[in-house]
Structures are given as structure tokens and as C-alpha cells.
A and B are shown apart, each in its own frame.
Chain A
């Protein structure tokens, strides 16, 4: 069994190709069933967002699997020939496929590194695959792991901490002037999209009072309804400005609406309480001379953009930490994958029961020292035959199911029933053993709680 991925993303394909390949939600189910109808494809999940289309799959043979997935993608949109498609595709298998999934989930492969949307999209894709029963033991485990890795990255690094959009950068700056936005008043001058977005962020951060003014009075009244604010007549807004802690300006005016002396007057009226002015208009609507007014802090679109670029750089530094985490997590996942192989499982099962048998026979024979050599052989023979009969069906079933879609499930079950992942006392040193046991029980607790949570969701 091998995990593979074939796909394309914003890094390898232009929007013209991505949009053709993207699978709308309504057709995901049909696409998934088609995917799993290919021979040798055991499990499948389709992640289709505006920045990437990727097929994750569990296949019997890596080479054949790649061909099948490519075929599948080429068939997804008939207007795309596979010659057009192939140059944009990337494909990974095994640990690299798992690493890719983890990186995607943790938003390290995103256009804006650290954005949180992709995790939601991955969860949705997984839900759809679950609903259509196209995932199995391996995919379920790996995708759940990817989701938990993404959460770990989010909490243990600062990758998602800083603002990477212009409108949010305004909020971040506001917080360096006002420690608490709850009691603050924001005034919205004009109704540019970016300003509205920034106002929405500010309200989400606790700002309660919103005053809105636009050149068209009705427009201001409509907006005030929308934001739960108060409309202010346009010709009075400069006088009302003193009541606003934050002033967001974005109108289509081609000249300065607010001059330095207007701001100076407002600051004086406020008793020198600081004022935060954001000018998102191009051409600018606030006279840049406001910079010289004490206790007034003016930022224009370039300042905000500059801040965003800086934050993006910081995120990339945090991404390096995240990459290191992912290397660790992939190693754990690969270890688990290995445990699902049938042959090592059969050998481990054989060794385990032989050892149990040996120990029990030794114990009993130690107490029955009066037995003759023939009787001793008889006792050993009895133990062997019981053990062999007990595991016979298990062995046969495991061998028979090697190539069925339930194979990994049987292997996993056998490993759990016979405690095959728990090393026998003689295998490991004391320290290794206790660490191993601690790790295992922790992991299986988490697995159980995850599967419980999952049942509740379903």
C-alpha cells in the first residue's frame, strides 16, 4: 500500500489551467467514485480549491497509481488534453506524499503562507470523501494526522499571528495606539471596499461606536444600518471628527478632504488624546502634512502595504520552524505506514505467540521436574498445537486479505488484538521500553478520542 498524490497548484499552473480542472462541490461525489473505480486505486480524496487541485490516493503500485491519477485528472475536464496538463503536474509518493499533505494542511504551500482557509478546505474535502466512503484506514489516519499537525503548527509557531491583508494591518496598527478597542469610536468617511472591510475587522475586535458619512446621505444611512452605526451628514464630519478615535477615509474624491488644521483642531478638542487616521484612498484624501500634528497618527495605503510585506517575511521565518515540525511528524506517520505491511505483521505475530508459548512451557515444566523426557515433549506439543490452532485463521485471513481493500484494516486489527506494536520485554532496554510504552498509550488515547469525536460528527 502506498500513499501518492498527483496535482497542480498556484506554484505550477496558471489560473487558466486551475480553473478548468477545479471540481465544483456538486460534482465531487461523482468524481470520487470515478477515481476509486480505477484498478489499483484503494482510497481517494480530492482537494479542489482555487489555488490547487490535488488527488490523494492509496494505491497498490506507485507507478501504476501515478498513471491512473493522471488519467483521472485528464478525464476530469475533457477540454484539457493530457499534453497540456502534464507539464503542470507534480507527483509524490510515500513519505514525500505525506509530507506534502502535511505542508498543504499547515498552509506552508499556500499563496499567502499561514492563511487559515486551507485547513477548512481540507476538512471539507475529507468530509466529502468520508461521506462517499472513498477513504479507508490509511487515508483516514493520514488526513486526521495532517489536520492535527496543522493545528500544532498554528499554536506552536507565530505563522498566523501577524496581519497579511491591508485591511487587517489597519487593525494591528490601531492596537499599537489603543490597547483596548472596546470603548473606541470609529468614523468611516466614504464607502470604499477596503475601508468597509477594515471597519468590519475593527467591529469584530470590539469597537462599538461606528459613525458613517458619505457624500450621498442615503448611502450613509444604509451603511449605518448594516454596521449598527450612526450616519453623519457629510458637511459636518470634520467637526464630528474629534469624537472619533479612529478615522477611516476612502472616497473617490480627487483632492484632500481633510487638512492638517482640521486634524489639529480635532486633537485639541480631544485634549490631546491620540487619534488614528487611515487613508485608503488613491488619490489620497488626507493631507500628508497631518504627519506633523502631534498625537495624530496617519497611515496611507503604502504604509499599510509595507507593513503587510514585512509581516509576510516574518511568516516565512516562522514557516521554517513549521517545516522542522513536519519532518518529525512525517517520520511518525511513515513508521505507522510500515506497521501496516502484511508480511512483517505475520512474522511479528508468529514471534509473539512463539515467545508466549516458550515462556509458559518453561514456567510449567519448571514445576513439573519429575516428568520423563517423553512427557515433557507431550506438554510442549500440546502448547504448540493450541497456539497454532488459535492463530491459524488469523494467519490465513491476513494472507487472503493482502490485496483486498480491507487489508490494512485487518492488519491494524491483528496488531491491536495481539499487541504487536508493544515490544516484548526482551526486545528493548528498560529506558527504551518505558518511553515506547508511554508514546504508544498516548498515541492510542488520542486515536480513540479522535474516533469518538468523529463518530459524533458523523
Chain B
């Protein structure tokens, strides 16, 4: 049941991605409503799939990497739907839905050997959930940053095209960028702390400097500097947008680190 729902979800997200990308280039309000509708239906299937999976594996409670990425993708769509509902910026979907689709597809594409996270710590899922929520925050920051850079470029070069008319105001994007990092950073911090505790239990050491931990620490330091810079020396607007794009690359690398570590454990 869960895997059928996942397949349907993926198909719907794919349809929504295509529809949202076409919307990006066309003047059509109908298209944005259609895309939004497909996304919402996909989200429902996704919710059912996640719930079914969680119910089935509640006794063992060690989340697979697939589940973690699936949860990440689910949260991205949730954030998109909430922001869309409050601010009516369908163009956000043209960026966030593809991102959700990509993470879901890459989760599904992972080799069978990776998904097993070691059942080392009863509450490992807390670490996974917190880290993933932090990553969602940075993903939203990344999307806001990319949109900011596009809109900034269009304004500077005075190209008032369809994209220009659809993208929201610069200060809104900058605000979204700030909010998402302000929320993502403490979540990542907690994710790292719980991760370190679980590592202490499983391996007897808080830090072993494996690719996952190294990546996480680098990411944490990076966003710490970004936040500090914004609050003290005015690293906002264009610079903040660039920094969050780079920061998200760190997040991706860390996730790759998790996969590598998984391989290491298995071998």
C-alpha cells in the first residue's frame, strides 16, 4: 500500500513539476491552479504513504534513508502549500516542487543496501527528523535565494519578461530567506546534538569525523557565520542570497556523506 502510494505521489509530483515549469513561461492563471491542484493531491498521497509506512514500522523505529528523504520532500511541499496559501505566490511552486521531486526520486534511486540505518539508538528518528527539518529550512532559503538572484538580475538588466512579472518583490524573498535560516539553524543544531549523542551510544564517541559528521559541522559553521553576518554587518539581499545557495550545497554534500557512511557501515 505504502509503495503504491509512493509511486502515485512521484507521478503526481512529476506532473506538477512539468506543469509548474510550463507555468513559469506562460501567462496563464489557470495553469497555476492546475499545478497547485496536482501538487495538493500528490501531497495527500504522500501523507498517506508516510503514515502507512510509519504505522508498519512503529515497533522497530529505525528510519531508513529513503524515509528520511521522503519526509524531507513531504515537508518541502507542506511549506510550499502553507506559504502559497498565505501569500499567493504560485511561482514558488516552480522551484520547490521540482526540489521535492528530485529528493524523492534520488531517495527511490538509492541502492537497496543503503536504506538500513543501524538500530543503534531507540530514538534515532529524533535525530533524523530534526536534521531533516533543518535541511527543509535551508532548502526554502536556497529557493528564496535563487529566486532573489533571478529577480535581481532581471531588474538590473531591465528585462521585464514573464518571469519578472511572476516573481515576488525582492524584499519579500530576502525576508523569506532570513526566516527560513532563522528556523533551520536551531533545528540543525539540535539535529547535530542528538546525532552526537546517538553516536556516543553506538560507537562510544561523539565525533568520529566521518563524512556525515564533518559535513554537518561544516554546514553548521557556515550557516552560523551567515546568520551572524546578517545580524551584524548587513549580509543581506544579494550576498545573503548567494550564501544560502552555497550553504545548501553543503547540506547536499552532507547528505551524500550520510550515503557514503551507510556504504561504509554495510561493507
Contact = CB atoms under 8 A, between A and B. Distances in A.
A179 B236 contact: no
A179 B168 contact: yes
Given A175-B169, A272-B238, A295-B237, 9 more contacts: A176-B164, A176-B169, A176-B170, A177-B169, A177-B171, A274-B171, A291-B156, A294-B237, A306-B158
Contact of A297 (B155, B160, B167, B172): B155
Contact of A177 (B155, B160, B234, B239): B155
A179 B169 contact: yes
Contact of B234 (A176, A271, A303, A310): A271
A307 B239 CA distance: 28
A297 B169 contact: no
A317 to B, nearest CB: 8
A299 interface: yes
A318 B261 CA distance: 57
Nearest to A311: B160
Contacts of A173: 155
A306 to B, nearest CB: 7
A177 B170 CA distance: 5
A310 B160 contact: yes
A180 B170 CA distance: 11
Given A176-B170, A274-B170, A297 B156 contact: yes
Contacts of B239: 272, 294
B151 interface: yes
A307 B161 CA distance: 10
A178 B237 contact: no
A416 interface: no
Interface string B134-151: 000000000000000001
Given A271-B236, A273-B236, A295-B238, A176 B158 contact: no
Interface string B68-102: 00000000000000000000000000000000000
A248 B230 CA distance: 28
A272 B171 contact: no
Given A297-B155, A297-B156, A299-B158, A178 B171 contact: yes
A291 B156 CA distance: 7
Interface of B: 151, 155-156, 158, 160, 164, 167-172, 174, 233-239
A273 B235 CA distance: 9
Interface string A176-205: 111110000000000000000000000000
A42 B235 CA distance: 74
11 contacts: A176-B151, A178-B171, A268-B234, A270-B234, A271-B236, A272-B235, A272-B237, A274-B171, A294-B237, A306-B160, A310-B160
A175 B167 CA distance: 11
A176 B158 CA distance: 12
Contacts of A297: 155-156
A294 B156 CA distance: 9
A214 B239 CA distance: 35
Interface of A: 173, 175-180, 268, 270-274, 291, 294-295, 297, 299, 303, 306-307, 310
Contacts of A274: 170-171, 174, 237
Nearest to B164: A176
What are the nearest 10 A-B pairs in CB distance?
A: A271-B234, A179-B169, A179-B172, A272-B234, A295-B237, A272-B237, A177-B170, A272-B236, A178-B171, A294-B238
Nearest to B158: A303
Chain A CB count within 10 A is highest, among B156, B171, B239, for B171
B222 to A, nearest CB: 19
Contacts of B235: 272
Contacts of B238: 272, 294-295
Contacts of B171: 177-180, 273-274
Nearest to A175: B169
A299 B234 CA distance: 24
A92 to B, nearest CB: 33
B225 to A, nearest CB: 16
A271 B156 CA distance: 19
A117 B134 CA distance: 53
A303 B236 CA distance: 27
A305 to B, nearest CB: 11
B224 to A, nearest CB: 19
A271 B237 CA distance: 9
Nearest to B151: A176
A294 B236 CA distance: 11
A173 B155 CA distance: 9
A52 B122 CA distance: 82
Contacts of A310: 160
A307 B170 contact: no
A244 B171 CA distance: 15
A176 B151 CA distance: 9
Nearest to A176: B169
A307 B158 CA distance: 9
B159 to A, nearest CB: 10
A25 B174 CA distance: 53
A176 B170 CA distance: 6
A60 B54 CA distance: 81
B73 to A, nearest CB: 28
Contacts of A273: 171, 234, 236-237
Most chain A CB within a 10 A radius of its CB, from B155, B158, B168, B174: B158
A168 B169 CA distance: 17
Contacts of A178: 169-171
A185 to B, nearest CB: 14
Contacts of B169: 175-179
A157 B44 CA distance: 33
Contacts of B156: 291, 297
Contacts of B233: 271
A176 B155 contact: yes
Residue from A272, A294, A303 with most neighbouring chain B CB atoms (10 Å): A272
Contacts of B237: 272-274, 294-295
A173 B169 CA distance: 9
